[in-house]
Amino acid sequence: MATVKRRSTVPYYAAAGTWVIYALLFPLYRVPHFLFVAVVSGVVFFIMNAVCGTVEVTVPDPPKKEESTGNPELDKMIRDGNLAISEMKRLNTSIKDEKISADIDRLEDLSAKIFAQVKSDPSKLPQIRKFMDYYLPTTLKLLNAYDRMGAQGVSGENIDATMQRVESMMGTIVTAFEKQLDMLFGSEAMDISADITVLENMMKREGLSEDDGELHAESGTATASQDDIKLEL
């Protein structure tokens, strides 16, 4: 909310009221009458404007314009992801079960990290398509059902069985979210592994690895021992 100064409307209403009052009390069918009322209403306007001046009014902040990445599919993922995380927070507040709440905390954190990874590298977007289209909305659907049933305040065969199934499923869902995040690092892991292999081979060729150093040291010791034996002979 912001506070801004605006010109008061009172002077305009006062000037208009002057015309109405004069028309009710005095004749208004000659030019001098109109001129007289015009002068009086002008005086009233300036007096009220000096008295009232400007007023401070509170106006709502303009809606924030969503930033676009230039990629419509990525923009949609960001919007849907933010909505999903907001819904998780709402459900987490509503659901009182501590274990379910802890699982939702974990899902919030994992989801935020998944979205952050894809936002930083949009080429990973296809990897989370099924996650966005099925796993995430289905998880929210289950949690909403759990929340609604828990809010009924009654125990019954259907309610209890359904809530127990959701509770038992939460651990599996958390594991699935963890694996989804881990899969986003698959190509990076392969690149790093390849870099390590190349680095190891280069170090071996240059004699810079620890194994080569030990081998050279052992070789030097063996040579020194042979020389000592020859001297003794």
Q: How many CB atoms lie within 10 A of CB 143?
A: 24
pLDDT digits (tens, 9 = 90+) for 45-74: 788 777 776 766 676 666 566 677 788 999
pLDDT for the residue 154 = 85
pLDDT digits (tens, 9 = 90+) for 140-151: 999 999 999 999
pLDDT for 186 beyond 60? yes
According to DSSP, residue 206 is labeled T
Residue 228's pLDDT band (cuts 50, 70, 90): very low
pLDDT for 232 beyond 50? no
This prediction has a pTM of 0.61
Scored b (16 or more CB within 10 A) or e, 4-21 reads eeeebeebeebbeebbee
Q: Which residue has the tokens 């004069």?
A: 22
| Listed range (18-22, 128-132, 135-139) with the worst mean pLDDT | 18-22
pLDDT for the residue 61 = 61
pLDDT for 14 beyond 90? no
Strand, coil or helix: what is 4?
strand
pLDDT for 185 beyond 80? yes
What percent of the chain has pLDDT above 70?
81
Identify the bridge partners of residue 4 per DSSP, sorted by sequence position: 57
Residue 225's pLDDT band (cuts 50, 70, 90): very low
